[in-house]
């Protein structure tokens, strides 16, 4: 969650770091700070709130120097105060540290330091790292050895970056466990470290991703790598092709709006090179399971959190319908705690936009411990999930998603999940090449159909004008669209702060129907499929209680259209693929409501993009 940027080189470190932190604002934060080394001394600037506050502080009290580190914090230990903001120093003032993660044994370590007479200035677990590092550096006379020793003593997932006054050209960075990423950018006579690619991709495309238990030694002229035990490592940079311009708003008012409108392109990118319409076949380059291994699968466990969990629910319908393999869907945060029993010939599929979601990574680790392989469907290149996935990865190629509320990554996950289901069905013999060809044709038509849906924004503005003051909303869907009702409600509550519930429509009469009155808008997904008539009945039940129906229908529908107060027309597709189209109005409607209510669309309160702590 926290944003990390470090720089060593000829540029003004403050400019590089603050720009990088701006690129990481999507991760969510409540305070920010920077430390720069100049004339043999560290100077810190910290502030609570948005980066604008830190920028103002830097205008009033400028910093100059060519080596520094910066941080955006999302509080886990200690209140949101300037004192608790990163970076943190040790008592001597020689050591400065920033961190992403949670030190699970920080109280134990802090008590040891308190007994030794160390006085703490903050309530954070991060200051424990700084104080330990200061003491060990003094005792050992070796900053690098001290840093490695501190990292070995920490429990929990942690990414730590440190600098030392007596080593003025040096930045140390390390990663343990499933903390947020540590990305080292290798440049020409300058080098960088960050918690995500967008922070440094303006300066270099040569990236090295630290694994668990690895340490980077960074100067302006050189980067070397070793284990925490001191063994040297040879790591080859990955050349990242992301254009830094893609992280800019490009004329849109918000990143979320931009990312909604990118979906014709991003859904196309998920398909590129993977479908052969002529042969009726699917090619998933990152999948490391043979057709025989796919054919032998008897059970799949789909694990994720948040929006990605809704994608798992849709994946269940895809796989069970097309490949006839049983799928269990679990929250990543609950999976390992229920002591799961894996059946024979099982596979775990992890869905995560960041590839760093700690609960999802823990589920993958649990599967590995029980001898079950994991497949990752994700967006972030070089992430931890991609490296843990011993059954391979399916990258969705959506590019950086900056807004906290996921849009294009969700549709990318659905497209990738459908491709996997087709591949699995073909390997198991439940789908012929002719059938796969029909499905591919439907897939390749999706981007164009999304494009047509993005042309009538005025409709959503009218709905927002009408309903932006409501207190509650209900979202209903059936069959494969039931998860889309959940996703629609999540989008609405995430960014507009309106209480919203998503339900399978058949469950409405088992509770939610008691909430329906003349003030409640009810979004009903009523596109054509084999449960259309049942959905029509649910629409009638809402109307009978006075609810205001906002219905999603296909062209040519007359029955629902005659009953609903508002209609959103969605292009027709094969019913199983309908979620990819039906979620688009949910995203736009939530966005329009949030804008009308004056909410912070891209950075909703209390939320973070990448959840790297439990």
DSSP type of residue 431: S
Whole-number Cα distances in Å, 351 to 46, 195, 405, 484, 501:
36, 20, 16, 16, 23
Please give the Cα distance from 308 to 302 (Å, whole number): 10
The active-site residue out of 94, 423, 449, 609 is 609
Told to judge if 2 belongs to the known catalytic residues of this protein, a careful annotator would answer yes
Please give the Cα distance from 449 to 105 (Å, whole number): 52
Coil, strand or helix at 557: coil
Coil, strand or helix at 67: strand
Longest dimension (CA), the chain: 80
Name the residue among 153, 159, 151 with its Cα closest to residue 100: 159
The active-site residue out of 2, 305, 312, 524 is 2
Task: Supply the DSSP string of 477-522, one letter for each residue.
Answer: E-GGGHHHHHHHHHHHHHHH--EEEEEEGGGGGGTGGGG--TT-EE
Exposure b/e, 310-330, CB count within 10 A at least 16 = b: bbbbbbbbbbeebbebebbbb
Burial class (CB in 10 A: 0-12, 13-18, 19+), 38: middle
Structure tokens at 500: 């919203």
Name the residue among 596, 612, 594 with its Cα closest to residue 604: 594
Whole-number Cα distances in Å, 300 to 316, 329, 373, 407, 438:
9, 9, 10, 25, 25
Residue positions annotated with a catalytic role = 2, 609
């Amino acid at each position: 969650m926290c944003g990390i940027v470090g720089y060593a080189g000829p540029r003004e470190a403050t400019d590089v770091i603050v720009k990088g932190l701006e690129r990481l604002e999507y991760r969510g934060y409540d305070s920010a700070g920077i430390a720069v080394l100049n004339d043999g001394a560290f100077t810190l600037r910290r502030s609570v709130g948005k980066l604008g506050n830190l920028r103002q502080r830097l205008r009033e009290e400028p910093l100059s120097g060519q080596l520094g580190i910066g941080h955006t914090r999302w509080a886990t230990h200690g209140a949101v105060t300037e004192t608790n903001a990163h970076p943190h120093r040790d008592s001597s003032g020689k050591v400065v540290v920033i961190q992403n993660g949670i030190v699970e044994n920080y109280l134990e370590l802090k008590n040891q330091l308190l007994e030794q007479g160390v006085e703490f200035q903050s309530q954070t677990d991060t200051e424990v790292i700084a104080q330990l590092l200061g003491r060990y550096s003094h005792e050992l006379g070796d900053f690098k050895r001290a840093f490695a020793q501190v990292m070995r003593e920490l429990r929990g997932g942690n990414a730590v970056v440190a600098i030392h006054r007596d080593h003025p050209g040096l930045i140390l960075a390390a990663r343990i466990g499933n903390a947020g990423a540590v990305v080292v950018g290798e440049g020409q006579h300058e080098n960088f470290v960050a918690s995500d690619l967008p922070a440094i991709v303006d300066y270099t495309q040569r990236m090295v991703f630290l694994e668990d238990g690895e340490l980077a030694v960074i100067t302006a002229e050189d980067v070397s790598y070793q284990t925490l035990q001191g063994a040297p490592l040879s790591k080859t940079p990955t050349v990242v092709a992301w254009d830094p311009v893609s992280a800019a708003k490009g004329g849109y008012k918000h990143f979320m709006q931009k990312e909604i409108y990118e979906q014709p392109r991003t859904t196309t990118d998920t398909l590129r090179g993977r479908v052969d319409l002529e042969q009726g076949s699917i090619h998933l380059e990152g999948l490391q399971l043979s057709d025989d291994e796919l054919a032998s699968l008897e059970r799949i466990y789909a694990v994720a959190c948040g929006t990605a969990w809704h994608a798992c629910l849709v994946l269940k319908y895809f796989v069970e319908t097309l490949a006839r393999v049983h799928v269990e869907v679990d929250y990543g945060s609950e999976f390992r705690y229920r002591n799961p029993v894996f059946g024979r010939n099982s596979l775990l599929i992890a869905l995560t936009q960041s590839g760093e979601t700690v609960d999802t990574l823990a589920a993958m680790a649990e599967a590995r411990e029980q001898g079950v392989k994991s497949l990752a469907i994700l967006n972030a290149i070089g992430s931890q999930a991609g490296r843990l996935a011993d059954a391979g990865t399916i990258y969705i190629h959506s590019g950086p998603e900056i807004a906290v509320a996921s849009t294009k990554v969700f549709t990318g996950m659905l497209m990738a999940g459908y491709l996997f289901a087709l591949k699995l069905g073909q390997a198991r013999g439940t789908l012929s090449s002719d059938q796969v060809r029909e499905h591919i044709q439907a897939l390749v038509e999706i981007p164009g159909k999304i494009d047509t849906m993005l042309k009538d924004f005025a409709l959503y503005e009218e709905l927002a004008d009408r309903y932006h003051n409501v207190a509650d909303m209900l979202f209903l869907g059936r069959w494969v669209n039931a998860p889309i009702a959940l996703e629609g409600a999540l989008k609405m509550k995430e960014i507009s702060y309106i209480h919203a519930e998503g339900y399978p429509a058949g469950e409405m009469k088992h509770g939610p129907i008691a909430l329906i009155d003349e003030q409640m808008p009810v979004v009903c997904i009523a596109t054509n499929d084999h449960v259309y008539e049942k959905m029509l009945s649910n629409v009638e039940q809402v109307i009978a209680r006075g609810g205001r129906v906002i219905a999603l229908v296909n062209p040519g529908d007359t029955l629902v259209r005659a009953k609903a107060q508002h209609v959103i027309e969605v292009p027709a597709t094969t019913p199983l693929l309908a979620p990819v189209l039906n979620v688009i109005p949910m995203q736009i409607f939530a966005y329009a409501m949030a804008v009308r209510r004056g909410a912070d669309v891209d950075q909703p309160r209390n939320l973070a993009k990448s959840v790297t702590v439990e």
